[in-house]
Amino acid sequence: MLNAEFVAVIQVLVYAGAIMVLFLFVLMLLSSKDSEQYVNKWSVGKILAGLLSLGIFIQIAGLFTANELQLGSKGEYPLEVVEEVGSITLIGRLLFTDYILSFEIIAILLLVAVIGAVVIAKRRFQ
Amino acid sequence: MIPIEHILLLSALLFIIGVLGVMLRRNVIVIFMSIELMLNAVNLSFVTFARSLDSMTGVVFIFFIIVVAAAEAVVGLSIILSIFRTRKTLNIDEFNLLKW
């Protein structure tokens, strides 16, 4: 267990509650009748894509299973502290002290994204 | 207790599924879902590293990544919607307005 119950709840809320509903709304508005046109017929590109992603996977897996990975210096929140105080308390404390500037910037970003989406989707084309 | 290598390998596998989806599929909505899958794979490795290094910074970063992913989904889907109005297709090979 990773003791990240806040992340789990946020993930379910955002992805099942917001993003999936958004995708379903867009799929409802867009009608894609024939699925034939989406088949990639260029088989050399398929092989290249497979080889490239296999290479990326080998690189990432090699990096993740390397022995040097375990040598990082430990932080100040061991399992006992997280279980005693609770991860939500710790995240909130960090978010409103050390990362307050990032928090404000991300709030502005979300506002800009919502306004931009309304402006882009509202425009009518002839 | 699950060893962290297994979780990290799962995250690498999810990332590769996303990469393959972006490269092989032609439907722009499926490509968009694959991008979300890659962001979530990164989230999974962030939370694993945060736990294994006794740090809380990775979990705070996940918060920021989720917000950026949500903003990207909102703007991207509205762009797809407005391109679909002019082009009447979802095939990404037809979206060549910026090509000269």
The per-residue pLDDT for range A47-88, each reduced to its tens digit, is 898 999 999 999 988 888 876 666 667 778 888 888 888 888
Flag whether residue B42 sits within 8 Å of chain A, measured between CB atoms: no
Looking at chain B, the whole-number percentage of residues with pLDDT higher than 70 is 99
pLDDT of res. A115: 93
Stretch 7-26 of chain B: residues touching chain A, C-beta under 8 Å = 7-9, 11-13, 15-16, 19-20, 23-26
Closest CA in chain A for residue B8: A64
CB contact under 8 A, A37 and B91: yes
- Tokens 């694959």 correspond to B34
Interval B1-12: pLDDT, tens: 788 888 889 999
The structure tokens listed for B95 are 């979206």
Mutation test of the interface with chain A: which of B5, B61, B66, B86, choosing the one with the most A Cβ atoms within 10 A? B66
Q: What is the DSSP string of chain B?
A: ---HHHHHHHHHHHHHHHHHHHHH--BHHHHHHHHHHHHHHHHHHHHHHHHHTT-SHHHHHHHHHHHHHHHHHHHHHHHHHHHHHHH---BGGG--TT--
H-assigned helices in chain A: 5-12, 20-29, 43-64, 79-85, 87-96, 100-122
The token duo for B35 is 């991008």
> How far apart, in whole angstroms, are the C-alpha atoms of residue B41 and residue A35?
28
Put simply, whether B6 touches A (Cβ < 8 Å) is no
**Of the partner residues B20, B26, B36, the one whose CB lies closest to the CB of residue A19:** B36
CB B83 within 8 A of CB A125: no
Whole-model pTM: value is 0.86
Chain B residues touching residue A121 (CB < 8 angstroms) = 78, 81-82
Minimum Cα–Cα distance from A121: chain B residue: B78
Q: What is the pLDDT of residue B35?
A: 95
Complex-level ipTM: 0.82
Which three-class secondary structure state does DSSP give residue A17? helix
CA dist list (Å): B17 to A23, A54, B2, B8: 19, 10, 22, 14
For residue A68, give the DSSP letter. Answer: G
Residues of B numbered 47-86 whose beta carbons fall under 8 angstroms of chain A's beta carbons: which are they? 47-48, 50-57, 59-60, 62-64, 66-75, 77-82, 84-86
* Nearest by Cα to A60 from B20, B23, B11: B11
Phi, psi of A64 (to 5 degrees): -75, -30
Identify the band that residue A125 occupies on the pLDDT scale cut at 50, 70 and 90: low
Instruction: Report the chain B residue with the minimal C-alpha distance to residue A66.
Output: B5
CATH level 2 (architecture), domain B26-91: Orthogonal Bundle (1.10)
- Min Cα separation B99/chain A (Å): 20
